[in-house]
Amino acid sequence: MAVDTNLAFRNYDRKVLYSCPAFEVVQCEWKKNSSSPMHNHGSSDCYVLVEEGLFEESVRSGLEISTSFRKSGQVIHTPPFSSHDLICKSDYARTVHVYVPPLSKDQLGNRFSSPDQSEKLNFFEPLSRPGISRDAFSSLLDEVRNQSVSVHSEYFMNQLFSGLLPESIAVSRIVASTKATLATREASPVFSLAENEVVFALSQALGWDPRKSNGLAVPGGSAANFMGLHCARQRVLPSARDEGNQGHRFRVFVSEESHYSWKKGCLALGFGLNAAIPIRADARGRLIPEQLQVELTKSRLRGEVPLLVGATAGTTVTGAFDPIREMHSVCRDQDVWLHVDAAWGGPAIFSNSAKHLMNGVELADSLSFDAHKLLGASLTSSIFITQHKHILLEANDVAATYLFHDNEDFGDRGRLSWQCGRPADAFAFWSIWKRYGSDGFGRFIDRQMDLQKSFVQLLKESGPRIKLLHEPEFLNVCVQVLPPEDQQDVASWSRHVRQSLLESNQAMINFSVNPQGVSFLRFILAHPHLEIVQLRKIVQWALEVQ
Amino acid sequence: MAVDTNLAFRNYDRKVLYSCPAFEVVQCEWKKNSSSPMHNHGSSDCYVLVEEGLFEESVRSGLEISTSFRKSGQVIHTPPFSSHDLICKSDYARTVHVYVPPLSKDQLGNRFSSPDQSEKLNFFEPLSRPGISRDAFSSLLDEVRNQSVSVHSEYFMNQLFSGLLPESIAVSRIVASTKATLATREASPVFSLAENEVVFALSQALGWDPRKSNGLAVPGGSAANFMGLHCARQRVLPSARDEGNQGHRFRVFVSEESHYSWKKGCLALGFGLNAAIPIRADARGRLIPEQLQVELTKSRLRGEVPLLVGATAGTTVTGAFDPIREMHSVCRDQDVWLHVDAAWGGPAIFSNSAKHLMNGVELADSLSFDAHKLLGASLTSSIFITQHKHILLEANDVAATYLFHDNEDFGDRGRLSWQCGRPADAFAFWSIWKRYGSDGFGRFIDRQMDLQKSFVQLLKESGPRIKLLHEPEFLNVCVQVLPPEDQQDVASWSRHVRQSLLESNQAMINFSVNPQGVSFLRFILAHPHLEIVQLRKIVQWALEVQ
């Protein structure tokens, strides 16, 4: 996937005006219908000024493929990790291209494994040594980027995100160069409004009444689950605000397939690990509501205090969606808080093909949503949201007069938070939502769901050594690879395949191990530019592993 | 401080080759000794290629003022929010300058108050509407930047940080465009090492044994204090890991001047607000150790469990440093965990003129450190660090097999954390430390301490309406402004002054109110380019407020 500069520019005269390690300025002259092929700019910013003439530009940037016309005086900016092509539509045209840094400096290849970087970067030189020059610092940052895992690659599916949205990169610069802290509205007028709007729009998208909902950005999906526990405690035991847990044996009911952050939350909030009661899941990884009923009843009989039931919308391994509506019936009968951990699967609400998976979410008390996973925002862009409008303030506000001045209107979002200084984490989500709209999100997810169907078909046609573990519900596809020869260890083979693909820098796919000790690959179809052709290659490579 | 392009370029021939909203390319021809004056590039990136000749460049970038020579073929990159000048040292020279975006688009002025931005940005248009084009998105981000508070200004001292380090902005792009998550070393090899190195070097700087220390980046100084409470709980009650607080009435002892995050921590961890016992401070805001002794004894007599004593190194309002050594004596006698909240004052350890304030820190059990305050890293860059090497793992590890693979070495820093997906928050600190070194930090703080002395002198010579509340210990200077006429309200006048300076976009200075209800201004001398001339102006403006 490296940029071939010979191929990338053809059918027109190209003159390099200036070239140096930091930038390149190129002038091109075009005739009618001369064109550049679709090319990816990697981590370079590309600016093209149309000095004269008319162009049609097709661009693949983030979640969108679009075509537009550009005439004299206009500038085409292709942000990092975007592809575009240009076709000259006038008899003659002239353009000036500025690349920062030059295209040839780009790293578009795949780097998934890099054992030696510690030596090379000299990380273990004590930081207490004298500083380094600006130039050396700049080179060091280049090296850091080059030594990092290639999350921009279609072959990266190790996390529940893949690919880079150029909007997120642009936003990160705005966030850094305004250094706004969300504690007070006065210090971050724009970003406070953006966070507020994200919460408003998300509550609408969930089918909640936005006027009765409240929420905020928190530092990760785990923190959103923590906040669910905290709000549920405030509701069950309002005196916890002054007196703490008071020896109540709070219990939290989550699927055995749920995220480990529930356990961490029980540690942090003073409930202890024994407070997390795992509920059995079915073969596809979905919590069994009858089991929930049984465990809740048993817990009450033991004199414990059921605090919260956590439904998972999109489990980490299999992408299973717990039956929210059925779980709500149990919670309603037993008067227990229902939280939905939709960190991974939440965006399904925008999609025609997947929104049924979120059925019943309109009934939840609270929810975790990560825009940095499927929707491509920067890490972290997590929202905690609840239908109990005042609970966040009741549970968290300890207004400090020096910071939260009473002459300001009620927009100081720090009152809702565990954080004081807090970056504009919701702004990337706001920006991406503004840019693509709910419809854009929906089209993107529908596309990925179509890809999942094609991939399942491909797997079924890939012969006896490829075993689909179960029909996927969402964008996780779990696949066992059997060894080429009978005498090899079946249980560990998929893990071996994973490690081999990783070390050869072909693909980075996470694995898991089922209760029987059998390892399998977990494909994540999150990259917006992922096509069946790449998936076919991975399957082929997996079968070739020795 | 707007850029005067007429003034900024003189004594040489300047030819604009290309100019458009996205970039500008300029060619200059120079004669011996022709020069550009020192000019600030605001949020533009400036790249200068020396095509021919020799230059001396002086640059004021971040914490450093430096001079170097640049010859043919070299590139000078002046990052955003940096100033530089050039002097031609050869008989003839030719340069090419690329500005992205053009200088004229910059906003170097002060914007502290912007009541109307909500309308202008159309924030309240529902996010669920259709998306917008790339061009519209780009304009929107420009608008967001322009509507934000000018933290880059020397006249911004509303938070415990001021000014922008170009290194932080460069790092933010690397962090966004690698999207590394710190959960596993495999997914973030470079950043995991960097976090590890920051913890190692910080423990050394504190006079701790790095081999016996451990720590990690947490989402803010508040979170670092939370983690102190959590680790102290694990030490006092190891069974809390499984069984939670079990009805123990834990108590936390912190100065009445301490940060409100201690209260939030007591809420979050299930202790309740009553668990936070405020200890009286002296007139300068320093905790009185004898009072600590008294309250600890009373607490034990009430059957409570003293969990943690929190010393503040640099209080939010007055910048007071609690007497760590004396507090440690009390803690040692009573076997209570001593945490130092050094979020603001911690960098004093690097400085000759201020390190005595941290005396006794070598004895602390744990500590909070914010590199995003005085040291200029991006929000947030907070470290929790402890001398109890294994306590973080004991208190937090609930290893999830699908994520933390056992075939990896023990570098998965997520085990120590409350977060799962976690950005490379420590990387900005690592970068700034690498760039400037401990010596650079020390020189910077010594410079600021000198400025504080000059400022105190200036205040004392500013007449009877300017009242220094007390001799400052650190970089907070608290000043009451008396009204011009006797009949005006003395108590609220400083607050009125603050609001007036804010609304006129002259300066953004926070205020506080003392126990007698008297308001005062809190100056924060954190901006690395702040000079006495700006402080003199602010005092003058404050006296002119009607």
Which class for B16: exposed (0-12), middle (13-18), buried (19 or more C-beta within 10 A)?
exposed
Q: Which residue of B has its CA nearest to A121?
A: B190
| B177–A194 CB contact, under 8 Å | no
| Distance, first Cα to last Cα, chain A | 25
Question: Angle at the Cα of B52 (from B50 to B57), degrees rounded to 5?
Answer: 45
Q: CB–CB of B260 and A420 under 8 A?
A: yes
3-class secondary structure, A471: coil
The answer to whether the Cβ–Cβ distance between B267 and A395 falls below 8 Å is yes
Given an 8 Å threshold on Cβ–Cβ distance, is B247 in contact with A245?
yes
CB-CB neighbors (< 8 A) of B419 in chain A: 219-220, 222-223, 380
Is the model's pLDDT at A6 over the cut of 60?
Answer: no
**Inter-chain CB proximity A127 and B434 less than 8 Å:** yes
Dist CA B476 CA B469 (whole Å)? 11
Please check the confidence at residue A332 and state whether its pLDDT lies above 70.
yes
B204·A43 Cβ contact <8 A: no
Which residues on B lie below 8 Å from A222 (Cβ)?
Answer: 418-421
Closest CA to B330 of B312, B309, B350, B346: B309
Residues within 8 A of B (CB atoms), A 113-172 only: 114, 117-118, 121, 123-124, 126-134, 137-138, 140-141, 144-145, 147-149, 151-152, 158-159, 161, 164, 167-172
pLDDT band at A409 (very low <50, low <70, confident <90, very high): very low
Q: What is the pLDDT of residues B268-307, one digit of tens each?
A: 999 999 999 999 999 999 999 999 999 999 999 999 999 9
Interface membership of B75 toward A (CB under 8 Å): yes
pLDDT for A546 equals 92
Q: Render pLDDT for B149-176 as a digit per residue (tens, 0 to 9).
A: 999 999 999 999 999 999 999 999 999 9
How far is the C-alpha of A170 from the C-alpha of A164, rounded, in Å? 11
At A2 the pLDDT is: 37
Q: Closest Cα of chain A to B211: distance in Å?
A: 14
Find the mean pLDDT for residues B12-19: 92
Per-residue model confidence as pLDDT tens digits over B116-125 = 555 555 655 6
Q: Which residues of A, range 286-305, sit inside 8 Å of B by Cβ? A: none
> Does residue B361 register a pLDDT over 50?
yes
**Chain B residue with the nearest C-alpha to that of A508:** B187
> Which stretch of DSSP H or E encloses residue A97?
strand A92-100
User: How close, in Å, is residue B441 to chain A by CA atoms?
Assistant: 10
Tell me the one-letter amino acid at B28.
Answer: C
- A405 contact residues in B (CB cutoff 8 A): 511
Check CB contact under 8 Å for B430 and A127. Answer: yes
Interchain proximity B510–A402, CB inside 8 Å: yes
pLDDT tens readout for residues A412-439:
889 999 999 999 999 999 999 999 999 9
Helical residues (DSSP H) of B157-211, grouped into ranges: 166-178, 189-205
Asked if B418 and A271 come within 8 Å (Cβ–Cβ), the reply is no
Cα separation, B69 vs A238, whole angstroms = 67
Supply the mean pLDDT for chain B. 92
The partner residue sitting opposite A274, judged by closest CB among B121, B171, B242, is B242
- List CB contacts (< 8 A) between B246 and chain A: 247, 272
> What single letter denotes the amino acid at residue A400?
A
Instruction: Give the residue from B424, B433, B426, B317 showing the smallest Cα distance to B375.
Output: B433
Among A70, A267, A509, pick the best mutation site for testing chain B contact (most B Cβ within 10 A).
Answer: A267
Closest by CA to A543, choosing from A465, A486, A489, A478, is: A465
Comparing alpha-carbon positions, the chain B residue that sits nearest to A132 is: B435
Interfacial B residues in 210-269 facing A (CB < 8 Å): 219-223, 226, 230, 233, 239-247, 249-250, 259-261, 263-264, 266-269
From chain B, the residues in CB contact with A512 under 8 A are 401-402
CB contact under 8 A, B244 and A204: no
- Interface residue B403 vs chain A (CB under 8 A): yes
Indicate yes or no: CB of B193 within 8 angstroms of CB of A274.
no
**pLDDT at residue B5, as a whole number:** 45
Q: Tell me what percent of the residues of chain A surpass a pLDDT of 90.
A: 79
| pLDDT bucket at A523, cuts 50 / 70 / 90 | very high
Q: Which residues of chain A make contact with B77, given a CB cutoff of 8 A?
A: 22, 134, 138
CB-side exposure of B286: number of CA atoms within 13 Å?
19
Please check the confidence at residue B326 and state whether its pLDDT lies above 50. yes
Is A15 touching B (CB cutoff 8 A)? no
**pLDDT score recorded for residue A187:** 86
B112 to chain A, minimum CA–CA distance in Å? 8
| Residue contact B246–A247, C-beta within 8 A | yes
CB contact under 8 A, A435 and B132: yes
pLDDT in tens, B474-495: 999 999 999 998 888 999 999 9
Residues of A in contact with B47 (CB under 8 A): 20, 22-23, 100
In sequence order, the β-bridge partners of residue A24 are A19, A99
Note the pLDDT tens digit of each residue in A48-94: 999 999 999 999 888 988 899 999 999 999 888 888 999 999 999 99
Evaluate if residue B7 carries a pLDDT over 50: no
Give yes or no for a contact between B454 and A254, defined as CB atoms under 8 angstroms apart. Answer: no
pLDDT band at A5 (very low <50, low <70, confident <90, very high): very low
* Secondary structure letter of residue A210 according to DSSP: G
Phi-psi region of B234 (alpha: psi -120 to 50; beta: other; left: phi over 0): alpha
**Mean predicted lDDT score pLDDT of chain A:** 92
- Whether A274 sits inside 8 A of B379 (CB atoms) is no
The C-alpha of B530 sits at a distance from chain A's nearest C-alpha, in angstroms, of: 18
pLDDT bin (cut points 50, 70, 90) of residue B374 is very high
CB B340 within 8 A of CB B348: no
Name the residue among A49, A272, A522 with its Cβ closest to that of B240. A272
pLDDT score of B27 more than 70? yes
B71-93: per-residue pLDDT in tens? 999 999 988 888 899 999 999 99
What pLDDT does residue A117 have? 52
**What was the pLDDT predicted at B3?**
41
% of chain B residues with pLDDT over 70: 93
CB B247 to CB A246 under 8 A? yes
pLDDT at A408: 41
Interface test with B, best of A179, A197, A368, A429 (most B CBs within 10 A): A179
What is the per-residue pLDDT for B11? 73
- The pair phi, psi for residue B139, each rounded to 5°, is -65, -40
Whole-structure pTM value? 0.95
Sheet holding B305-312: strands in order across?
Answer: B214-218, B382-386, B366-370, B337-342, B305-312, B250-255, B276-279
Pick from A183-197, A201-215, B49-63, B118-132: least confident: B118-132
Question: Phi, psi (5° rounding) for residue A450?
Answer: -60, -45
Dihedral angle computed from the Cα positions of residues B237, B238, B243 and B246, in that order, rounded to the nearest 10 degrees? -10
Count contacts between A and B (CB, < 8 Å): 466
Q: Which of A135, A152, A434, A500 should we substitute to test contact with B (largest number of B Cβ atoms within 10 Å)?
A: A434
Which backbone phi and psi does B157 adopt, to 5 degrees?
Answer: -145, 40
Instruction: Say whether B178 and A270 touch across the interface (CB within 8 A).
Output: no
All residues of chain A having their beta carbon less than 8 Å from the beta carbon of residue B193 are: 117-118, 121, 123-124
Least Cα separation, residue B176 to chain A (angstroms): 6
Predicted pLDDT at A129: 80
Residues 500-539 of B with CB under 8 A from A: 510-513, 522
Average pLDDT over residues A147-166: 94
For residue A250, the chain B residues in CB contact (below 8 A) are: 244
Tens digits of residue pLDDT in A248-302? 999 999 999 999 999 999 999 999 999 999 999 999 999 999 999 999 999 999 9
Chain B hits for A439, CB-CB cut-off 8 Å, are 130-131
Q: What pLDDT score was predicted for residue A458?
A: 98
